[in-house]
């Protein structure tokens, strides 16, 4: 099977290595072309900067898109599918936007569009979810989808360091990029959550901008210490629920009591969970990023294409309404501004430096937080587990601030 790879980053190097491994070698996968941008040096004979040379080559069976970003990735993927080539990509940003378009084009041209590596890296999450869906309705998904932010929170918790110190360390280790925004502001998690929800509910999320996202940029060493002293670990979580023909989704820092799997997911690992009506709670834990785990997922897709293994067929045409008030939660909010009155409908109480907000719809909470950030750009919020002792201990008169 002849493979063209678009891009020549870390993951591609991993694919090159894995294709040479004993178990995989027998499958006769070979790389026929590598597309590089015009200004890059052609260090291998199979390199080209002419995309049409690849797309028009009748010998090429599969295109692995590893350019990242939206364009020209979107354009190239679509062209490749229309030329009758299978496409594999790990590019969550472009899939989150165009999953339905790509899937339709693949079906129309009788080829496969596979993207296991896009969510959870080496964790077999996409296929695990698809497999559960053959039998079950999956009515919730929740997870630590981003290794970089988990590394930062884990280090802050272990060493009492500040967010800035740990971010710098993560950048030095190559875990975080020079512009860390996608990781720390929850954008990467949002993309992965949208892809997961599209599959779980067979929908086509087009207005991703509605998705409430709050990242970890504003967390302080004092926050982490306070959570720890009260028996909690903080994690950046993406989660979604479905009920009837409504769903919600959110990306936000979330507290977990110490004996949960989430609280004990260390370093840059990922942990992704689904809840199905017969399978119950199923969790997948592993390396969500890194050269070899991600390349492993790409090669798994290549082998599925080679062995003509069909993944679950989805048309992403179910009608389901996003309801920002579908679920409610308790929150801790920290701000130097006087914010208690904003939460007067949600029984606000004071706890240390935090306002505790009770039973507020998730969408509403994020709406109010957007207002708070306009007057205090260092404000922080975190959601609490249901029945948290922190939120529900008896409220004394002194503590009530409303």
Give whichever of 286 and 361 is closer to a second copy, judged by the CB atom. 286
Give the start-end residues of each E strand in 137-266: 138-144, 232-243, 246-257
Question: Is residue 113 within 8 Å of residue 90, measured between CB atoms?
Answer: no
If you ran DSSP here, which 8-state letter would residue 400 be given?
Answer: B
Active site residue 20: no
Nearer to a second copy, 240 or 265 (CB): 265
Site for a second copy (CB under 8 A): how many residues?
A: 47
List, in order, residues 6 or more apart from 271 with CB less than 8 Å away.
143, 144, 261, 262, 265, 283, 284, 285
Query: Helix axis angle, 187-201 relative to 92-108, nearest 10°?
Result: 30
Q: Using the minimum distance from each CB to a second copy, give the nearer residue, 71 or 308.
A: 308
Among 16, 57, 284, 361, binds a second copy (CB under 8 A): 284
Of 68, 72, 124, 231, the one binding a second copy by CB under 8 A: 124
- For residue 23, the minimal CB distance to a second copy (Å) is 6
Could you write out the DSSP letters of every residue in 335-367? -SS--GGGGGGG--EEETTEEEEEEEEHHHHHH
> Per CB under 8 A, does 320 bind a second copy?
no
The only residue of 9, 13, 21, 44 in contact with a second copy, by rule CB under 8 A: 21
Interface with a second copy includes 20 (CB under 8 A)? no
What lies within 8 Å, CB to CB, of 228 at 6+ separation is 157
Asked if 231 is part of the footprint of a second copy (rule: CB under 8 A), the reply reads no
- Does 296 sit near a second copy (CB under 8 A)? yes
**DSSP class of 217:** T
From candidates 164, 246, 266, 378, binder to a second copy by CB under 8 A: 266
Q: Which of 118, 196, 218, 287 binds a second copy (CB under 8 A)?
A: 287
Q: Taking contact as CB under 8 A, which single stretch among the options 203-211, 220-228, 237-245, 275-283 is the one that binds a second copy?
A: 275-283
Catalytic residue among 192, 258, 374, 397: 192
Q: For residue 242, what are the β-bridge partners?
A: 247
For the record, the structure tokens of 35 come out as 């597309």
Contacts made by residues 202-205, CB under 8 angstroms, sequence distance 24+: 202/314, 202/315, 202/316, 202/317, 202/318, 203/247, 203/316, 203/318, 203/319, 203/320, 204/99, 204/100, 204/316, 204/317, 205/96, 205/322
Of the ranges 70-78, 186-194, 278-286, 335-343, which one interacts with a second copy (CB under 8 A)?
278-286
Q: Can you give the length of the chain in residues?
A: 402
Q: Tokens 């590598």 identify what position?
A: 34
Does 16 contact a second copy by CB under 8 A? no
Q: Are strands 246-257 and 321-322 parallel, antiparallel or unpaired?
A: parallel
- Part in contact with a second copy (CB under 8 A); list of ranges 16-24, 39-47, 193-201, 217-225: 16-24
Q: Does 285 bind a second copy (CB under 8 A)?
A: yes
Asked if 23 touches a second copy (CB under 8 A), the answer is yes
* Nearest to 89, CA basis, from 111, 119, 109, 61: 119
The encoded tokens of residue 120 equal: 């959870």
Among 10, 264, 350, 353, binds a second copy (CB under 8 A): 264
Residue by residue, DSSP assigns 12-27 as: HHHHHHHHTSHHHHTT
By the rule CB under 8 A, 309 interacts with a second copy? yes
User: Under the criterion CB under 8 A, does residue 300 sit at the interface with a second copy?
Assistant: yes
- Is 295 a binding residue for a second copy by CB under 8 A? The answer is yes
Interaction of residue 173 with a second copy, rule CB under 8 A: no
Nearest alpha-carbon partner for 154 in 286, 229, 145, 163 = 163
Nearest approach in angstroms of CB 144 to a second copy is 12
Residue 260 touching a second copy (CB under 8 A) = yes
Contact segment (CB under 8 A) with a second copy among 21-29, 92-100, 192-200, 352-360 equals 21-29
Q: Considering beta carbons, is residue 44 or 279 the nearer one to a second copy?
A: 279
Active site (catalytic) residues: 192
The footprint of a second copy (CB under 8 A) covers 14, 17-18, 21, 23-24, 122-124, 127-128, 131, 133-137, 258-261, 263-266, 276, 278-287, 290, 292-293, 295-296, 299-300, 303, 307, 309-310
């Amino acid at each position: 099977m002849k493979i063209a790879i678009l891009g020549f980053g870390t993951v591609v190097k991993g694919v090159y290595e894995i294709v040479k491994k004993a178990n995989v070698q027998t499958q006769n996968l070979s790389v026929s072309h590598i597309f590089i941008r015009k200004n890059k040096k052609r260090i291998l004979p199979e390199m080209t900067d002419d995309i049409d040379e690849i797309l028009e080559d009748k010998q090429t069976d599969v295109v692995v898109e590893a350019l990242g970003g939206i364009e020209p990735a979107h354009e190239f993927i679509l062209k490749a599918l229309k030329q009758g080539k299978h496409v594999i990509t790990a590019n969550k940003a472009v899939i989150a936007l165009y999953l339905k378009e790509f899937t339709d084009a693949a079906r129309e041209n009788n080829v496969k569009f596979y993207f296991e590596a896009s969510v959870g890296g080496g964790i077999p999450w996409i296929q695990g979810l698809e497999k559960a869906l053959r039998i079950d309705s999956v009515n919730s998904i929740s997870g630590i989808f981003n290794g970089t932010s988990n590394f930062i929170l884990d280090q802050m918790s272990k060493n009492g360091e500040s967010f800035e110190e740990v971010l710098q360390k993560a950048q030095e280790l190559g875990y975080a990029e020079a512009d860390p925004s996608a990781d720390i502001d929850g954008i990467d998690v949002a993309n992965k959550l949208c892809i997961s929800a599209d599959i779980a509910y067979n929908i086509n999320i087009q207005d991703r901008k509605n998705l409430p996202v709050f990242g970890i940029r504003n967390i302080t060493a004092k926050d982490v210490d306070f959570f720890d002293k009260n028996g909690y670990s903080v994690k950046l979580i993406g989660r979604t629920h479905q009920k009837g023909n409504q769903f919600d989704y959110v990306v936000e820092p979330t507290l977990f009591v110490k004996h949960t799997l989430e609280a004990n997911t260390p370093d840059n690992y990922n942990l992704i969970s689904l809840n199905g009506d017969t399978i119950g709670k199923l969790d997948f834990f592993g390396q969500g990023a890194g050269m070899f785990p991600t390349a492993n997922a790409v090669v798994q897709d290549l082998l599925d294409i080679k062995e003509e293994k069909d993944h679950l067929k989805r048309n992403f045409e179910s009608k389901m309404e996003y309801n920002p008030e579908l679920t409610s939660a308790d929150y801790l909010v920290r701000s130097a501004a006087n914010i208690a009155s904003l939460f007067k409908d949600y029984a606000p109480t004071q706890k240390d430096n935090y306002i505790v907000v009770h039973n507020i719809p998730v969408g509403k909470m994020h709406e109010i937080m957007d207002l708070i950030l306009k007057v205090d750009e260092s404000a922080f919020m975190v959601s609490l587990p249901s029945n948290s002792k922190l939120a529900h201990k008896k409220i004394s008169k002194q503590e009530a601030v409303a």
